[in-house]
Amino acid sequence: MSNGPEHAVRELLQYVGEDPDRGGLRETPTRYVKALRELTSGYGAKPGEILKCFDDGAERYDQMIVVREIPFYSLCEHHLAPFFGKATIAYVPAQRIVGLSKLARLLDAFARRLQVQERLTTQVAEALMNELAPVGCGVVIAARHLCMESRGIQKPGAVTVTSALHGKFVLPEVRQEFLALADGMTP
């Protein structure tokens, strides 16, 4: 444990005034590195491999497909503090549909990186447009940020909402329908 990431965690523990050799902290560096790997496991994900498309089933379907309130966890890239919430993801298919679970996997692929909510929202929407080529898509994310709740301004319970709309979803009537379906989300 001389020069690896566990050593860096030991140094951080010492920096805050802790003894990394005391009983409760002895295995913390290893556990923290393992947790960090899990929390940032999205870097290797490829949206094109996640979004398995089906060419059958969508040829006559031209309405909105919506998966609401998909939970996610991420790390703020500014403070390395967690932020978490729910996303609603919708699209109107052109010729292909995607397995519904793949929308949650796509969200996790981007959430499991050092992130900001604005980029996360945009990345999910752009990946849908690029990989699925729908008529349009929309993503709304409502999240709580521990960097804002537990430090700095310290405003527990504050919710940040972001959205990204593409294609047909920028039309006022489609935008209104989508945002009404996503309304009321709480992280």
Angle between helices 117-132 and 100-111 (to 10 degrees): 140
Alpha-carbon 40 to chain mean position:
11
Catalytic residue, chosen from 115, 131, 145, 166, is 145
- Contact, 125 vs 166, CB < 8 A? yes
Catalytic residue, chosen from 18, 53, 69, 79, is 79
Does the annotation mark 77 as catalytic?
yes
Catalytic residue, chosen from 27, 38, 59, 77, is 77
- Contact, 47 vs 106, CB < 8 A? yes
Catalytic residue, chosen from 18, 126, 147, 177, is 147
Q: What is the DSSP letter of 150?
A: S
Does the annotation mark 166 as catalytic?
no
Calpha distance 10→28 (Å, rounded): 8
Amino acid at position 39, single letter: L
Radius of gyration in angstroms for the set of CA atoms belonging to the chain, rounded to a whole number: 20
Catalytic residue, chosen from 6, 117, 123, 137, is 117
Catalytic residue, chosen from 76, 115, 131, 166, is 76
Does the annotation mark 117 as catalytic?
yes
- Contact, 140 vs 185, CB < 8 A? yes
Does the annotation mark 137 as catalytic?
no
Catalytic residue, chosen from 27, 78, 118, 176, is 78
Does the annotation mark 53 as catalytic?
no
- Contact, 20 vs 14, CB < 8 A? yes
- The residues carrying an active-site annotation are 76-79, 117, 145, 147
